Structure 1
C-alpha cells in the first residue's frame, strides 16, 4: 500500500528512510528556515519529517514494543545474553535507551521548527490548520512517550538554534502531562475529521485509505490513553477517569471504527501491507515499507525478531527471539474453574466453559517449523512456544528480507479504546452493565460467538461473569488487556500505571523458578533483575554529560 517511493540517492542526501503513504515529499533535516517552508509542498515535506520518528528502529520499529515492554508475557530466548535492555539489566550508557531518547527529541525539534515557520508558507489556511494540528499532536505524543518512560524531562518548545542550547533542567511530569492534554485537545479540533455519517447513521464516508495520518478519532483515542495514565501511577489523579470516558466515548459514538470479526486478520493485514478500510479497527499505524532493488525504504521488525523461527526464505526468515511464559499462556483457560487473584482484592472463582479463545493459538504459535513443515508442540511444551502474532508466511511483499519486514505497527486499535472505556467506566461507576458489555464485545470476537437474538439476556460463553464486584472486574479487565493487546507495547505501561509492575515481576520470577523446565531458568532474568529504579529509564549518559542542568533519575 505504500505508493510513494524515493531513490537511495535522495534518501541518503536527506538522512531519512521513511515512506509515508500519504506524503509524496521527503523530509529534510538540513534546511534553513529563511529559504524553506515557502509553500505547501515544503510544509508537507517538513511534516513527513515529524511523522518519520514513528517508524524508526529506536521507536516502533522495535524498541517500544519489544525491549521496553518487558512484562509477564514473554522472554528473550538468547540464553547466553546477560546484559540487555529486554532483560532489565542495563544502565545509562545503553544505546537503546539513548536511541529512544534522541529519536523522540529529534521529532520534537522537527515539530518545533515546523510550528515556528508554518505561518510564512503560501498555502490555503485550511490546509495550514490541519498541518498545525498534526504537528502539535505529534509533538505532544512524543512528550507522552518521554514522560511515561522517564518521568520529569526537559520541556523544549522552541527549535534548537545553537549547539550551546544544552543546559535545560527537567520540568515536573505533572506540568508536562498538562501540556500534553492541552496540546492534544487543541489539535483535535484542527486535524482532519476521519469521516462523516449520513442522517440515518448507517453510511460512513472516509477521507483516507490508510491508517498513517492523524485524524480526530486518533487524537480522541490517544487522549483516552493519556488520561488513563494520569489516573494511575505515578500521578494517581482519579479525576482523569471521567476524561477517559469522555474521549473514548467520542471514538465509540463516531461510528467510524468497529472490531474486525477476525482477530487474526488484523495482523495478517499488517503482514500483507493492507489497510482495513471496512472496519478500521487498526486506527493508527506506524508505517513501514518494503525494500526493493535500488530503493531504500524503512522496514520494521514484526515477524522477524519475534515470529515463528525459520530459515526458509519462502516462509520468511525469523529469529524467533520472543518466547512465551507460562504465566501468559495460562491467561487463556481451559474448561473448569479459574480464580482471579490480585493483591488486596478478594479472589473470585469463575466458571470457564470449553475455551474457544482464538487469540491463544494466534498470539502463541502452537507449532514450529521443520523445513517447510509445521510440527505441533505437545501440550506440555509451553516455554518452547513463540510469539505468533505477526507471521511472515502471510507477507506478500518480495523479497522477504532477512532482518526486517514491511509490516505496519498498530499504535492504537479500537479494541483498546473499548477496554479503556470499560476500565474507566468501572472506576467511576462500578461494574455496570455498560462496563461489562464493552469487555464482552472484545471477548465475543475472540470466541467467535454472538448472543442468541431470541434471548440476548442469556449471554454467551465469552461474557464477563455476572457476579464480579468493582475490584474483581478490574482484575478481569487487566487480564483481558493482556490477552487482547499482547505484544503491542502496552503491558509494562499498564502494569506500571496500575502500580503492580514490581509485584507482578517478582511473582513471575518465583513462578519460573518453580515451573520452568530444566534449561529454561533464564526465562526469569528480566523478572529477577527488576528493582524500583526500573519504573523509569535512566537519563542517557550523553544527555547528562552535555546538560549540566539535568539530574539523573533515582537509582541510576
Structure 2
C-alpha cells in the first residue's frame, strides 16, 4: 500500500538532496542519464519525485509554517522571533528558503525523469501512467511556488551541475506560470490512472481534476483576475469529479471519521481524493513520518511513549473561527446564546477546535488526563479533576467566562494513531491535500460566479456538506449571500488543511480578515488577556502587503542575478 514511503529513505540517500540542489554538483549518486534501465529504476525515480511531498521541508513539516497563521488560527507563543507563523520574518528566513529549495528539487527530479523515461524499456501503459504522474507533480510544485511567491523562474529542463540555467533565469509572471500549470495538468489527466486503480498517495484522475478546479479558481481571482472564463473551467473540472458521485466519491457520513482514518492509516478514497501518506514514527524503523498532530495538535506534555501523543500545540484558534461555527443558520451573524456556546449542533466545531488539552495531575506526576476547557458557568476543577469549592466548602466554584482562544487546533489527533509506541516528535498521520467536500464547495463557488446566482445543484452541494455537519440550510440565496456562505463554509469545513490563507488571497480578503482578528484581540473581552500577543501577529499581516507573499530567499538572489526580489519585500 505504501511503496512510496517504504523506499523513501533509499531515494533520499541516492539522490543526495541538499538544502539547495542548484548549488550542489551531484557527484555522489548514479548519473541520471544512466539511471533508467527498466521499470524498477523508473519506479524508483518516480518515488524520488513523490518524496518531495512528504519531506520535512514540505508537507512533512515546514509547509504548515506557510499557512499556519491566517484569520482562523494564531501562533500560540508569546515571543517575536523572526518566524513565518507570527508574520515576523525576512528574506533570510531558513524555513522559506528550505521550502523554495525543496520544491525546485522536486521540479528538477521531475525534469530529469521526463527527459529520461522515454528511453526506458518497460510496458507502454505503465510508462504512460508514470509520465502523467511526473507531469502533474511538476506542475503542482509550480502551483505551490506561484501561489506563495508570485513570479518565479519556470524551468522545464533538467539541471545537472553548477552551471545550470537558473543561475541566469528571470522570473516568469505568475499568470503565465499558472497558465502553464493548468496546461500541464490537463495534459496529465488522461494519462494517470483512476483512483480505484492506484496505491495510496499516488496521483489519480480524481486528484488531477480536483486540483485543476483549485488552480482555475486561483486564476479567476486576485491578483491574476481572469474572471468568468476561469470560473467556467473550475466548474467543469469540479464537475468531472462529481460526475462519479455516489459511485467513486461521496462524503464520509461522519466528519470526524475522516481524520481518524488519516491518523489510523485507513484508506477512504471516496472522501480523500489525494492525501500525503506518512509511514510509522521513526521508532518502528520507518523514516517517512510527518509531524501532523505534534506541532499542529492538542497540547500534551506527556513525553512517555505510551502517552496519547506529545504535542507542542503551536497553533490555537481565533474568535473569527469560533464565531463562524456559532453562526448556526449561516446568515453571517454569530448566534451567541449560552446554549449554542456549549452545545453547538455543528459537529465540526468541537473536532476542529479542541475542547480539551492533556493536563498533568498534581497527585501523580506520571498521569495526564483529558481536561476540558470551560464555558461560562461550568464547574471548576483542580489539576486532579476534583471539584473546587467556594469558601463555604459546599458550593462549587464556577467559571465566569468561557475559554475560547486558549483552545488548540484539534483536527489532527494523536490519540487515534495505531502505531505504537508513540514518538515525541514524529507521527504517521496523513495529510489531506484534497477532499470531496472541497470539490463540492469549489463547484458551488464557481457556479455562483458564472451564473450570477447559485443554481439548485450548487445549493444542493453546499447543503450536503452542511447536513453532514448537522446543520439545516435554506433553499434560496442571492449571489452575494451565497458568495459569503461559500467563504464561511470553506472556513468551517476545511480549516487547517492548507487552503484558507490562499482562499483569502484569491478573494482579496486577506488584509480585511487579518484586521478583523486584530479588532477581536483589542476589543472583544472574550479574547483572553494572556493571549493578547496575537495582536502583533495579526497587525503585522494586516498592515503590510509583504505578508501576502513569501520573499525570494537571499541565497537564491545571490546565485541568480536575473532574479529580482518580490516588490513588497
The match for 1:451 is none
2:142: which partner in 1? 143
Deviation, 1:503, is 1.4
Offset from partner CA, 1:101-147 (integer Å, 9 cap, x none): 10110000000000001111010111111111111100000000111
Assess if the C-alpha contact under 8 Å between 1:69 and 1:490 holds in 2. Answer: no
| Cα-to-partner distance string for 1:509-530 (whole Å, 9 max, x where unaligned) | 1221112222211122221112
SS of the equivalent of 1:85 reads coil
1:270 is displaced (CA, Å) by 1.0
Match of 1:456 in 2: none
Deviations 1:70-118 (A, max 9, x none): 2111111111234210011111100111011101100000000000011
Matched position secondary structure for 1:424:
helix
Which residue number corresponds to residue 40 of structure 1? 39
CA distance in 2, matches of 1:148, 1:114: 25
Q: Give the length in aligned residue pairs.
A: 508
Instruction: Describe how 1:100-499 pairs up with structure 2 within 5 A.
Output: 100-165=99-164, 166-194=167-195, 206-208=196-198, 210=200, 212-238=201-227, 239-254=229-244, 255-276=247-268, 280-292=270-282, 295-312=285-302, 313=304, 314-333=307-326, 339=332, 355-371=344-360, 372-379=368-375, 380-429=402-451, 430-447=453-470, 461-463=471-473, 465-499=474-508
Cα pair 2:557 2:564 within 8 Å, conserved: yes
Residue 33 of structure 1 and its aligned partner are, at CA, apart by 3.0
- How far apart, CA to CA, are the structure 2 residues paired with 1:335 and 1:479? 11
CA distance in 1, matches of 2:329, 2:428: 41
What is the CA–CA distance in structure 2 between the aligned matches of 1:7 and 1:58, rounded to whole Å? 14
SS at match of 2:168: coil
Q: CA separation of 1:60/1:359 partners in 2, compared to 1, >3 Å: closer, same or farther?
A: same
Distance 1:91 1:16, change over 3 A: closer
**Cα deviation digits, residues 441-482 of structure 1 (max 9, x gap):** 1011111xxxxxxxxxxxxx521x345310111101100000
The answer on whether the counterparts of 1:147 and 1:153 sit within 8 Å (CA) in structure 2 is yes
Residues 138-175 of structure 1, C-alpha deviations (whole Å, 9 max, x = no match): 00000001111111111101010331221111111222
Note the alpha carbon deviations across 1:321-372, whole angstroms, 9 max, x for none: 111111111111166895459xxxxxxxxxx998411000000111222233
Report 1:79-118 matches (<5 A).
79-118=78-117
1 CA distance for matches of 2:67 and 2:558?
Answer: 24
SS at match of 2:325: coil
Does structure 1 conserve the Cα–Cα contact (< 8 Å) formed by 2:11 and 2:47?
no
SS of 2:275's equivalent in the other structure is strand
Residue-by-residue CA offset, 1:284-322 (whole Å, 9 max, x unaligned): 111211145573412111111121111233211111111
Distance (Å, rounded) in 2 between the aligned partners of 1:253 and 1:220: 11
| Displacement after TM superposition at 1:182 (Å) | 0.9
Pairing 1:546–2:559 present: yes
Instruction: Show the 5 A alignment for 1:39-58.
Output: 39-58=38-57
Deviates more, 1:399-408 or 1:369-378: 369-378
Structure 2 equivalent of residue 24 of structure 1: none
Secondary structure of 1:542 counterpart: helix
Q: 1:58 to 1:292 in 2, by over 3 A?
A: closer
Report if the CA contact (8 A) 1:6-1:296 is conserved: no
**In structure 1, the residue corresponding to 2:434 is in which secondary structure?**
strand
TM-score relative to the length of structure 1: 0.87
Question: Following TM superposition, by how much is the alpha carbon of 1:534 offset from its aligned partner in structure 2, in angstroms?
Answer: 1.6
CA change 1:69–1:307 in 2 (3 A) is closer
Any idea what SS the aligned residue of 1:148 has?
Answer: helix
Contact 1:71–1:492, Cα closer than 8 Å, also in 2: yes
Match of 1:534 in 2: 547
Deviation string for 1:410-459 (max 9, x for gaps)?
Answer: 11111100000000011111122111111001011111xxxxxxxxxxxx
Structure 1 residue 183, shift from structure 2 partner: 0.6
For 2:29, the equivalent position in structure 1 comes to 30
- Residue number in structure 2 paired with 1:20: none
CA RMSD of superposed structures (Å): 2.3
> How far apart, in 1, do the equivalents of 2:442 and 2:108 lie?
31
CA apart distance, 1:271: 0.9
Aligned counterparts of 1:331 and 1:208: Cα–Cα separation in 2:
37
Tell me the distance in 1 between the aligned counterparts of 2:437 and 2:11.
39
Mapped partners of 2:558, 2:239: distance in 1: 45
Unaligned residue ranges in structure 2 (runs of 5+) = 19-26, 335-339, 361-367, 376-401
